[in-house]
Amino acid sequence: MNPPTSIGIIGKPHQELTRTTVLDLMRFLEARGIEYHLDRDTAETCEVDQWIAKNQLVKQVDLLISLGGDGTVLGVARLLVGQSTPILAVNLGRLGFLTEVKVDQIFEVLEEVLAGHYRVDHRMMLCAHVHRRGECFGSHTVLNDIVINKGALARIIELELMVNEQFVTQYRSDGLIVSTPTGSTAYNLAANGPIIHPSLTNMIITPICPHMLTNRSIVIPADGVHLSINVKSHSSDVMLTLDGQVGVGLQTDDIIHISKSDSVINMITHPNKNYYAILKEKMKWAEI
Amino acid sequence: MNPPTSIGIIGKPHQELTRTTVLDLMRFLEARGIEYHLDRDTAETCEVDQWIAKNQLVKQVDLLISLGGDGTVLGVARLLVGQSTPILAVNLGRLGFLTEVKVDQIFEVLEEVLAGHYRVDHRMMLCAHVHRRGECFGSHTVLNDIVINKGALARIIELELMVNEQFVTQYRSDGLIVSTPTGSTAYNLAANGPIIHPSLTNMIITPICPHMLTNRSIVIPADGVHLSINVKSHSSDVMLTLDGQVGVGLQTDDIIHISKSDSVINMITHPNKNYYAILKEKMKWAEI
Amino acid sequence: MNPPTSIGIIGKPHQELTRTTVLDLMRFLEARGIEYHLDRDTAETCEVDQWIAKNQLVKQVDLLISLGGDGTVLGVARLLVGQSTPILAVNLGRLGFLTEVKVDQIFEVLEEVLAGHYRVDHRMMLCAHVHRRGECFGSHTVLNDIVINKGALARIIELELMVNEQFVTQYRSDGLIVSTPTGSTAYNLAANGPIIHPSLTNMIITPICPHMLTNRSIVIPADGVHLSINVKSHSSDVMLTLDGQVGVGLQTDDIIHISKSDSVINMITHPNKNYYAILKEKMKWAEI
Amino acid sequence: MNPPTSIGIIGKPHQELTRTTVLDLMRFLEARGIEYHLDRDTAETCEVDQWIAKNQLVKQVDLLISLGGDGTVLGVARLLVGQSTPILAVNLGRLGFLTEVKVDQIFEVLEEVLAGHYRVDHRMMLCAHVHRRGECFGSHTVLNDIVINKGALARIIELELMVNEQFVTQYRSDGLIVSTPTGSTAYNLAANGPIIHPSLTNMIITPICPHMLTNRSIVIPADGVHLSINVKSHSSDVMLTLDGQVGVGLQTDDIIHISKSDSVINMITHPNKNYYAILKEKMKWAEI
């Protein structure tokens, strides 16, 4: 791979470990004469004066370092839609499915990356377009999942699922998760969905507390497939949530159209880690 | 059993089938010289002038006829806390777990009841007391379930469960259901909980989409047991829901104390139906 | 597609409906001057004198009609390994996932097929090679699933899973299912696995009653992936079952190597049916 | 409680830890002038000459010490049917649901027990009577579970469940578990059943890999309830397994009658442990 020459650093704000790690990173990069940029929140957390707005930052760098948890990576990924800039995701706390590099491995891994010795995994994303009375009023791209769910007060919501214009089923449930393979180990897993290898190009459809007991997770191809979900419920308390981070209020008869994004996210992989080792550690499969 | 001499009728409002059924019931009871009363909503639905407020009504009658679905019965049951008045629950639509008498069987069953030929099932109830900063600010009795769950925007809530002052576990989940045996076939079932025979005196604790994959439903005795659930979550969007009908906003550090109610609900059972037959029909176990 | 000129007919033996349907089929094909062959069991069921051994039959025809249930198709599919001959799968009883054509639609569909008006779905298969003390003693190709499970007397078995030489986990369970997408709606579904669209090229790994509660179904790519399952258990009662039809006794330290077969099965699809419609019907999703 | 004056010791045979622990126990008891007896296997494991046959041993002692795992306790429990002799269950390995006393706590706990300072939990048991062509040919009492399951070769078994002579459902599955509350954390848990507090008097009915997706665990009263399970399957490979330890071959049309045993098992509880603490440790609920 090409060695990066300009690096963006985005950290979880208001964390002491972010501050010290970023300051170490800055020294490391300065010593090697490599340009770097911080976004505003990260700069403020580190008491550094210079920053660039996030959406500008991502256009000026050829490597992005994400410091934090899986949530930090999800936010960075949404900024990168349409770009091929790779992400080096470092966890500041415990191992995440998206953050396989530990903070004390950062310089060792970065040396390799700066020498062009690294591999990237391509992760598919999903696009959601929300239509109300025939007009699109919102478009969102996610790395993990698109969730439609009820508020705390609503009793149940009804959602109609179509795949490529064909009616599949009507869910009466707390909600519905449409997940990427990357997102399969997030909310999908809590809702009893399967683990899907992140190299696959699939959509995973998992109902949340379905009243029809035969409703199960369905895994379908993502290429050439177009889902639409029709909000049949008359509740005023239905929400669309993107990657667990962005919320959009929904109304009866809104339709959410979901398809594979043209963009992929390029995640730099840890040379000594692999998916199954991370899975085993996160799922505690080694224990007896 | 003692034949009833004064009957209350509470129907699902704004339904044509309620109107016609109540009018038929009135004629039936008048022909037999039996006193009856309607609540306001039912009277208005039937275009009848005379009514008594619900909370008065339940004190003046020695039989309550509920016309509607399981939801109608749940509302009636909460009115009856502290009283032994039996409920004859008639379904106006499809068979419910609480409404085993069909509308076209109503007069046949009522004849038997008026002759004192009937059996009642005692159904246990649960009490919830909500404490905030050391003070109780609400007390509720339910026939089905006490649910603590997150709103559509919240990502996860953290709840700490104590049983008789002993720490059991901390849930990171969408919420938690504490159900009676009667409520086990309601929300509990959608959240993967077990079916519990309604004659048992148990509490069923079922997490909703738990992030810890080893969290399972736990069934514990209801006699002599006191649960407390501590809201650890810092979300502002946590709700307590009683029987799926009454909602109370919760805050961080609120504690919900749950124990068996001293009251039971007396449900008149259909002479030719039994629990397993209803279960088989509702769960579609006869189909192949 | 090319219109078939020689047709093989394999039916579920000892069924009156097989006999009458095959006799009707024979008349239909004779009237059109199209060559056909029966295997021995089918011929005997129909009291017909002429037959060809199954493994010869499949080489002489360019269309195979399977009459029976999903089990009949699974048997025909294993005969066809290495050949591209399409299968027209007709169900003699209730709708199956593999047998979407009903017996009373057979002639209508066959007219279209004989005119070359048909579409085939390619279904991936899996290969299992069983090794004992370093030597391969059996090789099997399946359309649905490869199952390793314990006998009725054994208490638990221990199986070690490697993917591409990497240790994934050790299962302590009643067994393990490795399923194709086609097989995902068979045994896998009963063991709580997900539904996988049959056009996908995946393997689904689902433990049967795992004692480690965090063990879940995993869906992985089938291309370029090589599974190996090591029988660690010291029980004498462990069995390998192929498509639920062929059984092979296993011993401690046997290794089962699993990879995608080079062969696919070509299933003729019903012009008016589609996967989601069949799924909805089989899963009873239309009911309320 | 009465201090015990004669103690039986039954250990897991062929274990070095059994040998050293029993020898320590013998010295401890001799020093206090307390009579003790070993069964044959334990005596041989400890190279001790004197032993009494197990079924005699249990009649001569007023305390039984079980050394091993949950399996050792299950075996001891079946010997004690009809007797009230308490069991002190010591685990020689990792914590079990039935063996809450660790080997290094044994003398401390035993001092308390010998002083009469101990509490016992009563655990209900289940009885199974197997009928073939109208005659009972076997009767068994279990502390954990009664399991009917298929062998490795059989595809599916069909079992018809009656509760108090009423038809409930027909299972098409790998098998069926009828568990006591004590057994709910054993095989039942692996088959997706709920955790039931061991003080309850319930039966838990959990199907193993049911093909009907609406089949769920059912918890019913054990008092006054009589289950019967009819083996409808035509497979020759169906087995009844008692506590995972004793197997009985079943045939088509065999009927297994199950009801609560008149006996209970008296388990000495650890003064500083409680059910929820053990549950939390075994289920790893404390971990994050």
Q: What is the mean pLDDT of residues B205-219?
A: 94
Q: Which chains touch D (3 or more CB pairs under 8 A)?
A: A, B, C
| ipTM associated with this complex | 0.95
**Average per-residue pLDDT for chain C:** 93
D54-70 residue pLDDT tens = 999 999 999 999 999 99
Residue C274 has what pLDDT? Answer: 84
Least confident of B9-13, C47-51, C236-240, D162-166: C236-240
SS3 content of chain A, % helix, strand, coil (to 5): 25, 40, 40
What is the spatial distance between Cα D234 and Cα D156, in angstroms, rounded to a whole number? 10
* Number of A–D residue contacts, CB under 8 Å: 11
D234-279 residue pLDDT tens = 777 899 999 999 999 999 999 999 999 999 999 999 877 789 988 9
Q: What is the mean pLDDT of residues A117-130?
A: 96
* Binding residue ranges of B: 70-71, 144-145, 155, 172, 174, 245
Residue of D nearest to A212 (CA): D214
Mutual angle of helices D106-114 and D16-31, in 10-degree steps: 40
Interface test with A, best of B159, B171, B209 (most A CBs within 10 A): B209
Residue B287 has what pLDDT? Answer: 60
Q: Are B74 and B244 in contact (CB under 8 A)?
A: yes
Instruction: Supply the DSSP symbol for D265.
Output: E
Straight-line distance from the first to the last Cα atom of chain D, in angstroms, rounded to the nearest whole number? 41
Nearest CA-CA partner of B213 in A190, D282, A184: A190
Confidence of residue D287 (pLDDT cuts 50, 70, 90): low
Please determine, for residue A88, whether its predicted confidence score (pLDDT) is greater than 70.
yes
Q: Which chains touch C (3 or more CB pairs under 8 A)?
A: A, B, D
**Partners of residue A94 in chain D, C-beta under 8 Å:** 288
Percent of chain C residues past pLDDT 90, beyond the cut = 85
Confidence of residue A268 (pLDDT cuts 50, 70, 90): very high
Q: What is the mean pLDDT of residues D179-193?
A: 97
Nearest CA-CA partner of A63 in A36, A81, A39: A36
Strands, DSSP E only, in A25-119?
35-38, 63-68, 87-91, 101-102
Residue B285 has what pLDDT? Answer: 84
Percent of chain A residues past pLDDT 90, beyond the cut = 85
Interface test with C, best of D146, D153, D179, D213 (most C CBs within 10 A): D153
- D151–C151: do the CB atoms touch at under 8 Å? yes
Distance from C270 to chain A by nearest Cα, in Å? 16
Residue B244 has what pLDDT? Answer: 92
Angle of CA points C275, C279, C280, to nearest 5°: 120
Residue C287 has what pLDDT? Answer: 60
Residues 6 or more apart in contact with residue B19 via CB below 8 angstroms: B45, B46, B47
A11-34 residue pLDDT tens = 999 999 999 999 999 999 999 999
Catalytic positions of D are 70
* Number of B–D residue contacts, CB under 8 Å: 97
Q: Are B164 and B259 in contact (CB under 8 A)?
A: no
Catalytic positions of B are 70
Class of domain B125-262: mainly beta
**Partners of residue B195 in chain D, C-beta under 8 Å:** 216-219
Angle of CA points C267, C272, C273, to nearest 5°: 60
Q: Is C232 exposed, middle or buried (0-12, 13-18, 19+ CB in 10 A)?
A: middle
Interface test with A, best of B94, B146, B153 (most A CBs within 10 A): B153
Interface of B with D (CB under 8 A): 163, 166-170, 189, 193-197, 199-200, 202, 204, 212, 214-221, 274, 276-277, 279-280, 283-287
Residue of D nearest to C206 (CA): D209
Percent of chain D residues past pLDDT 90, beyond the cut = 85
Distance from D231 to chain C by nearest Cα, in Å? 15
Check whether D155 is labelled as a binding-site residue.
yes
Residue A113 has what pLDDT? Answer: 93
Handedness of CA A198, A199, A200, A203 (dihedral sign): positive
Q: Are C5 and C35 in contact (CB under 8 A)?
A: yes
The amino acid at A154: A
Residue B236 has what pLDDT? Answer: 72
Identify the architecture of domain D6-119+269-282 in CATH: 3-Layer(aba) Sandwich (3.40)
The continuous run of DSSP H or E covering D58 comes out as helix D54-60
- CA within 13 Å, CB half, A238: 26
Residue A279 has what pLDDT? Answer: 92
- D200–B193: do the CB atoms touch at under 8 Å? no
Nearest CB neighbour to C239, from listed D152, D173, D209: D152
| A121 carries an active-site annotation | no
Nearest CB neighbour to B221, from listed D194, D200, D219: D200
**Partners of residue D220 in chain B, C-beta under 8 Å:** 197, 200
Please determine, for residue B70, whether its predicted confidence score (pLDDT) is greater than 90.
yes
The amino acid at B43: A
Kindly name the residue from A39, A49, A62, A70 that is annotated as catalytic.
Answer: A70
Confidence of residue A237 (pLDDT cuts 50, 70, 90): confident
Domain ranges for chain C, please list them.
6-119+269-282, 125-262
Residue of A nearest to C285 (CA): A169
Please determine, for residue C271, whether its predicted confidence score (pLDDT) is greater than 90.
no
Check whether A32 is labelled as a binding-site residue.
no
Please determine, for residue C272, whether its predicted confidence score (pLDDT) is greater than 70.
yes
Q: Which chains touch A (3 or more CB pairs under 8 A)?
A: B, C, D
Please determine, for residue A288, whether its predicted confidence score (pLDDT) is greater than 70.
no
Residue of C nearest to D153 (CA): C247
Residue of C nearest to D175 (CA): C152
Interface test with D, best of A213, A216, A218 (most D CBs within 10 A): A213
Confidence of residue C95 (pLDDT cuts 50, 70, 90): confident
Interface of A with D (CB under 8 A): 94, 213-214, 216, 284, 287-288
The amino acid at C17: L
Q: Is A145 exposed, middle or buried (0-12, 13-18, 19+ CB in 10 A)?
A: buried
The amino acid at D64: L
**Partners of residue A284 in chain C, C-beta under 8 Å:** 214
Cα B165 to Cα B162, B257, D14, D120: the distances in Å are 6, 11, 42, 21
A172-217 residue pLDDT tens = 999 999 999 999 999 999 999 999 999 999 999 999 999 988 899 9
Cα dihedral angle (A44, A49, A55, A58), rounded to 10 degrees? -100
Distance from C280 to chain A by nearest Cα, in Å? 6
Distance from C193 to chain B by nearest Cα, in Å? 15
What is the spatial distance between Cα A104 and Cα D210, in angstroms, rounded to a whole number? 48
What is the spatial distance between Cα D104 and Cα D101, in angstroms, rounded to a whole number? 8
Please determine, for residue D288, whether its predicted confidence score (pLDDT) is greater than 80.
no
What is the spatial distance between Cα A92 and Cα A177, in angstroms, rounded to a whole number? 28
- B216–D189: do the CB atoms touch at under 8 Å? yes
D8 forms beta bridges with D37, D64
The amino acid at C44: E
Residue of C nearest to D284 (CA): C213
- A173–B152: do the CB atoms touch at under 8 Å? no
Check whether C237 is labelled as a binding-site residue.
no
* Number of A–B residue contacts, CB under 8 Å: 54
- D283–B193: do the CB atoms touch at under 8 Å? no
Residue A34 has what pLDDT? Answer: 95
C105-150 residue pLDDT tens = 999 999 999 999 999 999 999 999 999 999 999 999 999 999 999 9
Residue of C nearest to D215 (CA): C190
What is the spatial distance between Cα B243 and Cα C52, in angstroms, rounded to a whole number? 67
Kindly name the residue from C70, C121, C243, C262 that is annotated as catalytic.
Answer: C70
- D216–A214: do the CB atoms touch at under 8 Å? no
Residue A287 has what pLDDT? Answer: 60
Check whether D70 is labelled as a binding-site residue.
yes
Instruction: Supply the DSSP symbol for A3.
Output: P
